[in-house]
Each structure stands twice: as C-alpha cells, then as structure tokens.
Structure 1
Amino acid sequence: MTRNHLAQMAQKYMDYDMITLHTDVPEMPEGRIRLLHAMLSHQPSAVTHKDLLAVVTSLVQMGLDIHDQVDNETGASGGGMKGMRSRQLKVLAGDYFSGRFYHLLAQAGQIDMIRRMGEAICDLNRVKVLFYSKMKQMKLNAEEYLHHGSEIKSGLFLSFTHLMTGLYERVWPEMIERFTRCELLVQEIARAEKPSPSPRGWGVWHILQEGNEEDRRAIMDDRADPSSKAQLMSKYSVVEKLGDLLLQAISQLQQLIQRLPSDKLIKELQQLLEPFLSRLGPIPAAGIKEPG
C-alpha cells in the first residue's frame, strides 16, 4: 500500500477543527506504520484487519506523542494562561485520538487488541517515568538515552508480535527496535546540526560522558549562545559519531530484513530505509546493500 493511502486513511480520523487550529499535531509515524502494515500483510491472522490496525496505531502513537509534548513543555515554557490553555488542548487532543482508537477497535470486535494495546501503553508510561527520572537526576549516558528513546518509539508496535508467526514473530521485536533507533538517530543528527540552548539530546549526554569539566558545564548552560554549543558539538564530532551509529543500525536492520522469506516484502521494506540512507550524506556506506 502506498504511503499516501495509509496517510489518507488515518487523516480522516485526525481532522478536528479545535485540534488543528490550536494545537501543533506531531507528524504521523509514517515509517513505523508502513513497516507494521507491510509485515501484517503477510500474517494470515491479521491480513484482514491490517488497514484498521495501521490506522488505530497511528492514532494511539500520535496521542502519546502529543501527551509527551505536554510533559516536555511543563515547567519549561511557562507561558501563563496562554501556556496553560495550550497544554490543556494538547491533553484533550491526545485523549481524543485515544478515544477514536478504542471506538474503532470496539466496532470491529477487536477487544483483545484493545487490551494488548492498553497494556503496551501502561508499559510505555513506566519506561517514560524511568527515562525522565534518570534525566532529571543526571544518571543517564548516551547509549541509555538511545536505548530508552527506542523503547518509547517501538513499545506500542511490540503489541502486534502475537499476530505474527514463525520467523516473522522472531525478528519483529528486533526489527522494530532497530527501525526506531534509526528514526531517533536521524532526529539526533538534525538536532546536533542546529543546537538550541535548552533541548538535551544524544550530543549533550555524549559530551557529559566524554567531555572535560569546563565543556560539561558549558553544554548544560541554558543561557549559552547556540553557536557556542555548536562549537562543542563540532569539537566532540557529535554528527560524525551519530552517523556511524546510524550506519551500524541500518546495517543491522538490513540483515534482519534479508532473513524474511518473501522477496516482495524484502523489496518493500528496503524502500523504507531510503530516508535513513539519504541522511548518511558523505559518510561512506560500506557494508550497506543497495535495495534489490
């Protein structure tokens, strides 16, 4: 199925004037949704409901992402009455998307899937509490940052493992984790290329782990000029190191894809890697297979 068709199916459940006019809706997790949809297309127990499952997963993930925006803004943006209203609308928007998810699955009689996705959401909330607690206490290293970030991005999608059989079931958890790791690394490269005063991504945790005392203080200074943080990112080769990690994750993901028994599916999944491969830029793609 084309990316446009999947987006159109989900979009008709997302269009709501109050949300679109007053809230910045996060991007649809298109890559993960297309990956899930492609895999479900080859599962006898799920193929009939693959479109529905792709749509509701989009709704739930976007609801979770909107609520994460609220968590990240609380105490950071302040904003008085205007900021409070913005946060309230984000909470309502997240709840609205979750409500559509329950309604659609209940209509289709997918009660077990409601339970499984609900359990996945609870597990995700526990992971987020641990993650944010470690960040607040400064008990986090760069690799843990990536690990927890990938857990948060992939957690909902793991609730579909039971619908897969044989080799598909065995490779799915690692495949979705590697895929979300690639997504996260692409985001971190963009963040490192244009650092802002306060957001703390992989580059910050890397410098806190590897840097001298002066640089560690400087990278944590929210009042510092972004250009000084850019210099630190360059000094510690953050973009290059992230590129190496992305190259490694793509290679691991391709190895998993090549194990699948369907040539058609392999070709379809290879196409999903193109945004990651294009982000490598001038970094030599040794060991990366060209899509077949």
Structure 2
Amino acid sequence: MKPYRINELASKYVEYDMIQTYTELPAFPDPRLRLLHAVLSEHESLEPKSELYSLVVSLVQLGMDTHDLIDTEETRRSENEMRSRQLKVLAGDYFSSRFYQLLSQAGQIGMVSKISAAVCEVNRLKMDLYTKMQKSQLKAEEYLNKLTELRSEMFQLFSGMMEGAFVKLWPEMLEDVSRCETVLDEMNRFDSPSRFYQSWAYWHVMQEGTPEEQQSLSRKTEHSFIHDLRGKYELQSSLVSKLKAASDSLRSTAAKLESDRLKNVIQELADSFLEKMAAHTRA
C-alpha cells in the first residue's frame, strides 16, 4: 500500500496565495480520506487507483464544503467581505471542476458519472435539511444524523465496488468516522455565537428548553447566554458521550478486520478523535 499523502497531493490545487490571504477554506476531510484510501488499498482491483480516487473525492468534497461557507444573506458587505465571498465561489467551482480533468486524463470516465450522481444526492439531502431547518421541524438527534449522512454520502459511492467483508463493514466504518467528525465540529460551535445558531446545541435547547430560552434563541445570542445553556443542559457532556460511542463502534468494527494494517489505520483514527475531544474539553 502506498503511504497516505492525499493532503499533500491536494495542496497544489488548494494552496493559492490569494485564497489564503483573503478568505478561509473549510477543514480538509482528512479522516474520511484516510479511511477511504486504506480500504481501497485492501482491494487488489482498486489499490492501483486508491490515490486517484481519494484525491478526486477530496477535491469534490472540499468544493462543496467551500460553497457551503458562502454567506447568502443580502446585507451590505465591506470590500474585504465581498472579495472573500467571491473567492469562495471561485475556489469551490475550481476544486469541483478539477476532478473531471484528473479522471479523464486517467481514462476513468465511468467514475465521472458516479461522482456527479453522488454530488446530486448530496445536494438533495442538503435541500431536505435546509427546508426542515427553515420550518423548525428538526429534533436534535435527527439533525446530527442528517449531518452525518451528508458527510458520508460522497464516500458511499464506493460501496458498490467493495468486496467480501467490506460490503458490510465499509458503510459502518464510514458512518462512525463521519459521526465523529460531525460531533467534533458541533463541539467547536459552542465557542462561536455566530455558529451556535442552528447547531445541534441550538436544536437541543429548542427541543428541551423553556419558552423563554427558545424565544431568546430566535434572536441574536450572546456568549454569556450560550455559556449558561451549555452548563444547564450539559451540552458538552452529551456530545462527549456521542463521540465516545461512535469511536467505540469504530474500534469494534476494526476488531472484525483481518488486515492488521487496516486495523492500525482505524485505531489511529479513533485515537485522534478522542485526543481532539480531550483538547477541546480542556480548553
């Protein structure tokens, strides 16, 4: 198996001075890519294309995630804010378009249609989620499940290529890794009043909170108010429990694998999630 270097390969498409100077990009989907690369490498027929497939999926996912960061509110923006917004649009389009070129150069035309179909499904899932958000029809657990599904959907396109035990284990491992990523991101949203709105914690309080708290959440939320809610409803400890459960499930699945090499990759992923959780909890 070739060593994992997808983030290094993607850097030449991502690390442009103008982008880094004037705007921010979303986090690179590294855990899912490490899992994908490792699992593809366990298949004799897929191993030669494991780097290519992982790279193109990384760019498509990064393109969609970048577009998700675009502010759609119709408000006046400063020149810097406008430049940042325009660069996100262009960067997202650029990342998404490069997979066509990479796959066509490699003669992998069939994968173009599979990835395009996966993108359409991701967009359908997003529209379903956004519609429920606008109608305030979401429960906190449903929200978490839908975000996990959104994170994993692009990578699910490989399910039909899996063989043997991976036919069953790939979706399970992918869901656990995606859920760990989702929960960690939701923990980070505690620290930002601007990101608290419509987070898992927001929907939890809208589900369990008092009418007064729910009314306050419909307006601009201050950091002190969020801090009080965080303690009252034990929001952080709830997410810690969810992350530990997903991490334990990932370890349990790893124990069913025959490949020691793949077991090590998955154990490292599970450990990294717990380390990030511990660092956030200490902070």
Q: Normalized against structure 2, the TM-score is what? A: 0.91
Contact 1:77-1:83 within 8 A present in 2 as well: no
Q: Distance in 2 between matches of 1:189 and 1:13?
A: 29
Distance 1:80 1:123, change over 3 A: same
Q: Which runs of 5+ in 1 are unaligned?
A: 283-292
Q: What percentage of aligned pairs have identical amino acids?
A: 39
Query: Counterpart of 1:264 in structure 2: which amino acid?
Result: R
2:189 to 191, 196, 206: 191
Q: Deviations over 1:150-180 (max 9, x none)?
A: 1111111011112210111211112111111
The offset of 1:250, in angstroms, is 1.2
Q: Is 74-83 or 120-129 further displaced after alignment?
A: 74-83
- 1:42 corresponding residue in structure 2: 42
CA RMSD in angstroms comes to 1.9
Does structure 1 residue 138 correspond to structure 2 residue 136?
Answer: yes
Q: Secondary structure at the match of 2:137?
A: coil
- 2:64 corresponding residue in structure 1: 64
Contact 1:150-1:177 within 8 A present in 2 as well: yes
Distance 1:241 1:225, change over 3 A: same
Distance 1:50 1:93, change over 3 A: same
Q: Distance in 2 between matches of 1:45 and 1:80?
A: 52
Contact 1:161-1:172 within 8 A present in 2 as well: yes
Query: Counterpart of 2:61 in structure 1: which amino acid?
Result: Q
The offset of 1:259, in angstroms, is 1.4
Q: Distance in 1 between matches of 2:27 and 2:226?
A: 27
Q: Secondary structure at the match of 1:250?
A: helix
Contact 2:60-2:99 within 8 A present in 1 as well: yes
- 1:233 corresponding residue in structure 2: 230
The offset of 1:84, in angstroms, is 4.0
The offset of 1:242, in angstroms, is 0.7
Query: Counterpart of 2:57 in structure 1: which amino acid?
Result: T
2:246 to 246, 249, 252: 249
The offset of 1:46, in angstroms, is 0.9
Does structure 1 residue 124 correspond to structure 2 residue 104?
Answer: no
Q: Secondary structure at the match of 2:278?
A: coil
Q: Distance in 2 between matches of 1:76 and 1:202?
A: 25
Q: Normalized against structure 1, the TM-score is what? A: 0.89
Q: Distance in 1 between matches of 2:239 and 2:198?
A: 15
Does structure 1 residue 99 correspond to structure 2 residue 87?
Answer: no
1:164 to 162, 165, 168: 162
Contact 2:22-2:83 within 8 A present in 1 as well: no
- 1:289 corresponding residue in structure 2: none
Query: Counterpart of 2:253 in structure 1: which amino acid?
Result: L
- 1:286 corresponding residue in structure 2: none
Distance 1:40 1:58, change over 3 A: same
The offset of 1:239, in angstroms, is 0.2
Q: Deviations over 1:120-176 (max 9, x none)?
A: 000000000011111111110101111111111111101111221011121111211
* Deviation >4 Å, runs of 4+: none
Distance 1:11 1:131, change over 3 A: same
1:112 to 102, 110, 113: 110
The offset of 1:58, in angstroms, is 1.1
Q: Distance in 2 between matches of 1:208 and 1:2?
A: 46
Contact 1:43-1:163 within 8 A present in 2 as well: no
Q: Secondary structure at the match of 1:124?
A: helix
